[in-house]
Each structure stands twice: as structure tokens, then as C-alpha cells.
Amino acid sequence: MILIQHSLSSESVLLSDQVATVAEAIGHLARALATRLGVEPEMIERAVLEREASRTTAFANGAAIPHCRLPGLDRFAAALMILRRPVRWDNDGHTVDTVLMLAGPSGEVSSHLRILANGSQLLDSRGLRAVLKRSPDAESAWRLIEAAEQAIEERRSREGVLRELHRDQGSAEQADHLAEVASRFNW
């Protein structure tokens, strides 16, 4: 099973206070993914920008998960950008300060969906994102993502997907089971 923690490394975590536009953010992330995948960054950047043009990947909570699946890729890669200053992401007015970008093989739909589901849970956690935004460095941010995704997988294995979805229908505080994981990271 492919997870974010297998596709992300501290080298592909970017902490930035310099990025001012979506295109700039996607460009930096595409270069990080291209390095991991051994492909040209323009291929990833073009696919992600086309996907964003058809439908935004931004959430109302200030996170985005731009993604693409491409022929010729043999594995997944993930890159994370934590923006110290939020960027206006789309025409719907979403501003984003946390971006998880994914690229993977076109034939790996189930793995792609699993990674997207985990990414959505990670970035939907207010507690986790608050701590993530205070990360002192890329290694610390990566360790937090790794621990939080492990908690997601343990919960999924214990409770099953349907129970997980039903339980998270409650209040945001009740559903934010990752805040406890994030609280162990003091920086």
C-alpha cells in the first residue's frame, strides 16, 4: 500500500515566505516532485495547472491538494509547501497556506485515492495544521506528517472506513483526532 509517508521526504517539504502566486507555488512543488520522480518539472506543472483550471483543489480551510496522474510514472511522489503568507488560490476566493501536491502513475487509481483521502484528513485537521505551520524546519514538518498519517492508518484499521466517515460527521472538535498527535510536537 502506498501512503504519503512513502512518497514524501524532508527534501520535498518546502517552508516559504517568498511565494506570492498559485503558479509560483505549483512551480516550486513541481520541481520538487520532478526531482523525486526523475522527470521534467514542466510535465507535472502543466498537468497540475490543467487540473486546477478545470476544478480547484483548494479547501475552504486554507489547504489545497493539487494532484495529477501521468503515463510513464512508475511511482508516487508528494511535496508539501507551508506558506508563511497565504496565497489566493482560485477564483472562488480561497486563500491557501498549506499545499500538498501529488503526482503518480495513471494506472494506480486506488493508491491515488488512498493518498488523497489521507491528505484530506491530514490537512483538514486544524490542530495538525496549526502545529505544522509552526514547524521550525522541513524535517520536523515531515516527521509530523509521518506520525499523523500513521494515526490515520491505525484508526482506519481499527474502525474501518465507514465508521471513520460516520464518526467524522460530528463537530470539528470531535472529528479532529489528529490534534492529539500534533500536540506531541513541541517547537
Please write the tens of the pLDDT for every residue from 90-136: 988 899 999 999 999 999 989 899 999 999 999 999 999 999 999 99
2: left (phi over 0), alpha (psi -120 to 50) or beta: beta
Alpha helices in the chain (DSSP H): 4-7, 22-37, 41-54, 109-124, 126-133, 138-159, 161-167, 172-175, 178-183
Alpha carbon distance 83, 133 (integer Å): 8
In whole numbers, what is the pLDDT of the chain averaged over residues? 90
CATH superfamily for domain 4-183: Mannitol-specific EII; Chain A (3.40.930.10)
CA 28 – CA 102 distance, rounded (Å): 13
Domain boundaries, the chain: 4-183
